[in-house]
Amino acid sequence: MWQVWNRERGLDMRTVLEAKNLCKTYIVNKRQNNVLKNVNLTVEEGEMVAVMGPSGSGKSTLLYTVSGMDRMTAGEVLFDGKSIGSLNDKELAELRLDEMGFIFQQMYMLKNLTVLDNIILPACQSKKLSESRKETVARGQELMRKLGIIEVADNDINEVSGGQLQRACICRSMINKPKMIFGDEPTGALNRTSSDEVMEELTKLNAEGTTIMLVTHDVKVAARCTRVLYIVDGNIKGEYNLDRMKQASELRDRERCLNNWLMEMGW
């Protein structure tokens, strides 16, 4: 069994995200669909948390609700100590722009902009950072260099591979120096090689201190995380704690241990 994560070793860690009795209900054809049912969770600074579960279990709804992309029905979500339920739409949009980064399965980019211009667009819209456009461009280029895609900076988005485009999305998610990155199946549209490359970059970012929460159905992706939450029918049924991965040679054993646990949970 892998060692328990730092928060159970008595180390002082700051909570970035906390959900208390979180509920989300949709009304479809006059019928009430309770997608999230009294969910409680915390994500602490520096963690990389994967959310797994069967199709329709509420994984993506959980991600969208705790990040303020979707309004909760009941309960409370605290992001960096701030109750997002008390924010109006403009305040929520500013919070997401300035303090959160997002990576989706579908790589949404503006077709009339170059890859670099897509990356720096959120910084141009934010009031958080007081810097010149030249400084913003330099930071965008540095992020692209760090993720190994600087050579496609001036390319149109239809001139790059899926793996390169998703790494560009990671750069974009980092451009405003967020407190936390949210990913909804960030490798779901990629082949295995590109998926591994993207996860290597996310793992590096996490090792440098970036807090990440992602939804995935891929055990290979989840095995790189520090903790896995398993959700069924809108409830978190269990969590599996992994130590931080120190070298790639650990991955196979981590996958095996995690897969065994998922089978026990009914995966």
Q: Coil, strand, or helix at residue 76? A: strand
C-beta separation of 101 from 180 below 8 A = yes
**Number of folded domains that form the chain:** 1
Q: Coil, strand, or helix at residue 256? A: helix
- Residues spanned by the domain of 55: 6-103+180-264
State residue 219 phi and psi, 5-degree precision.
Answer: -60, -35
Q: Distance between terminal CA atoms of the chain?
A: 19
Does residue 213 form part of some domain? Answer: yes
Predicted confidence (pLDDT) per residue in 189-242, tens digit: 888 998 999 899 999 999 999 999 999 999 999 999 999 999 999 999 999 999
Does residue 81 form part of some domain? Answer: yes
Does residue 169 form part of some domain? Answer: no
Does residue 134 form part of some domain? Answer: no
pLDDT for residue 12 = 52
C-beta separation of 48 from 226 below 8 A = yes
The string of DSSP codes covering 157-184 is GGGS-HHHHHHHHHHHHHTT--SEEEEE
- Could you tell me the pLDDT band of residue 1, with boundaries at 50, 70 and 90? very low
Distance from C-alpha of 226 to C-alpha of 222, rounded to nearest angstrom = 8
CATH number of the domain encompassing residue 250: 3.40.50.300
Distance from C-alpha of 205 to C-alpha of 210, rounded to nearest angstrom = 6
Predicted confidence (pLDDT) per residue in 99-112, tens digit: 999 999 888 899 99
What b/e sequence results for 205-228 when a residue is b if at least 16 CB atoms lie within 10 Å of its CB, and e otherwise?
Answer: bbeeebbbbbbbbbbbbbbbbbbb
Whether this prediction's pTM lies above 0.85 is answered by yes
C-beta separation of 66 from 92 below 8 A = no
pLDDT for residue 106 = 85
Does residue 123 form part of some domain? Answer: no
Predicted confidence (pLDDT) per residue in 228-259, tens digit: 999 999 999 999 999 888 888 899 999 999 99
| Residue in the block written with tokens 């896995």 | 228
pLDDT for residue 82 = 94
Does residue 26 form part of some domain? Answer: yes
Does residue 31 form part of some domain? Answer: yes
Predicted confidence (pLDDT) per residue in 17-71, tens digit: 999 999 999 988 888 889 999 999 999 999 999 999 999 999 999 999 999 999 9
Alpha carbon separation from 142 to 95, 172, 174, 183, 207 (Å, rounded): 24, 12, 11, 22, 18
The CA-based angle 62-66-72, given to 5 degrees, is 80
Going by the DSSP 8-state scheme, the letter that residue 243 receives in this structure is P
Does residue 257 form part of some domain? Answer: yes
Distance from C-alpha of 193 to C-alpha of 186, rounded to nearest angstrom = 14
pLDDT for residue 2 = 32
Strand order in the sheet with 227-232: 100-104, 180-184, 211-215, 48-52, 227-232, 235-241
